[in-house]
Structure 1
């Protein structure tokens, strides 16, 4: 049952962040050919006004494909995103994180949402406490309900996406800024393998914490009061009465 709640939360976060990203792209003049709310193969796809929208089983992220505008003189692909000014390209990159933050604020309140976001940078990289925080998250879900837990998860994922690791948003923004100022773009650059390895290790740490937390969702080793206090700390200091 806990996995079903997590899947539902991930789906909502992907939908919100993907729609926000699409709206921002259209707002700055970048045309899209596809909007994906999943990773892996699609289960359902449809077209609205010439844009393909697809959903899948692994709804753990949203991405877009920009409409191709032909081939440039150097033989690389061209699209409307590459023709945007640097500051608009940076806005497009941050749009998914902005969508997650908006969802967190809507579910928690501005103060609690931002507190959950700022406290998330340390929490998402500290995989040694992953099991403890997974148990605390389930305690938060049981005591506070679906919406606060959704807001907390959305805020933590926003913090995760701003880490300077490929292929996360933080790295993509830094790369876009650096190459926009100091170097010329050389087409569709790949993602460094070292970044994928680091992100994979991070996800494996949280995967182990999730597995252990699901095995012992009602662990009383630290005491119920400590577990509930940790659950409130997942939101941030602004959640304290």
Structure 2
């Protein structure tokens, strides 16, 4: 049972990061005139769903990601993506500002200097494979010692940095592709596929390290 506790805390902290990101994006978009139609908290099968404030909220079991949807499908009209009705700068703000919120959370949890430091060094995290086992061990040790605020800050900083990398499946790539937002070119689709092929093995390796470190 003791070995399951770190998994529970990791799930809760990942869920907290994803919920706050989703709420931040929904708030920023609504403020700028593009109210979301759907907020998915987590991924996987829908466990609970409901409508609040004109938005469909869905709770899913796996807390590794969330999504905010802006595409409405009228019965008698073509699909409309509300984000594409915004100007490019406003659309860019909807993409980037939620991750700025995560950096701010990291600065609150870790202190301003260390929060920024962890965020900046998070950009190199996916490329330093040899350092990952030691970093996972230290993260698990913090969980076992009950330093949840610190872990929350670290996750917020690192996930913000990773999501701002220039890959089409991530926020950084989406921001760079804004000039082609109405119709992505073929090369963008190929880059997206390549990004998935690169990111998936890395994510599996990280999950493997977490499981083996805890057990």
Output the CA distance in 2 between the equivalents of 1:103 and 1:61.
18
Residue correspondence of structure 1 range 176-215 to structure 2 within 5 A:
176=178, 178-179=179-180, 185-186=182-183, 192-215=192-215
Q: Is the 8 A contact 1:76 1:186 kept in 2?
A: no
Task: Tell me what 1:47 maps to.
Answer: 51
> Cα deviation per residue 1:6-33 (whole Å; 9 max; x = unaligned)?
1010011111111111100001100221
Task: Tell me what 1:117 maps to.
Answer: 119
Output the CA distance in 1 between the equivalents of 2:162 and 2:73.
33
The structure with the largest alpha-carbon Rg is: 1
Task: Tell me what 1:98 maps to.
Answer: 100
TM-score (norm 1): 0.78
Q: Which sections of structure 2, spanning at least 5 residues, go unmatched?
A: none
Secondary structure, counterpart of 1:18 in structure 2:
helix
Q: Of the candidates 47, 59, 72, which is equivalent to residue 63 of structure 2?
A: 59
Task: Tell me what 2:34 maps to.
Answer: 30
Output the CA distance in 2 between the equivalents of 1:107 and 1:172.
28
> Cα deviation per residue 1:55-80 (whole Å; 9 max; x = unaligned)?
11112222111152769xxx973232
Secondary structure, counterpart of 2:37 in structure 1:
strand
Select between 124-133 and 7-16 the one with higher mean Cα deviation: 124-133
Select between 12-21 and 191-200 the one with higher mean Cα deviation: 191-200
Q: Is the 8 A contact 2:41 2:60 kept in 1?
A: yes
Task: Tell me what 2:176 maps to.
Answer: 174
Output the CA distance in 2 between the equivalents of 1:67 and 1:77.
7
Output the CA distance in 1 between the equivalents of 2:89 and 2:158.
25
Select between 121-130 and 86-95 the one with higher mean Cα deviation: 121-130
Secondary structure, counterpart of 1:163 in structure 2:
coil
Q: Is the 8 A contact 2:26 2:35 kept in 1?
A: no
For residue 53 of structure 1, report the CA deviation from its aligned partner: 1.0
Output the CA distance in 1 between the equivalents of 2:41 and 2:85.
25
Output the CA distance in 1 between the equivalents of 2:72 and 2:140.
44
Residue correspondence of structure 1 range 200-239 to structure 2 within 5 A:
200-215=200-215
Q: Is the 8 A contact 1:120 1:160 kept in 2?
A: yes
TM-score (norm 2): 0.86
Q: Is the 8 A contact 2:39 2:67 kept in 1?
A: yes
Q: Is the 8 A contact 2:6 2:214 kept in 1?
A: yes
For residue 3 of structure 1, report the CA deviation from its aligned partner: 0.9
Q: Is the 8 A contact 2:25 2:94 kept in 1?
A: yes
Q: Number of paired residues?
A: 207
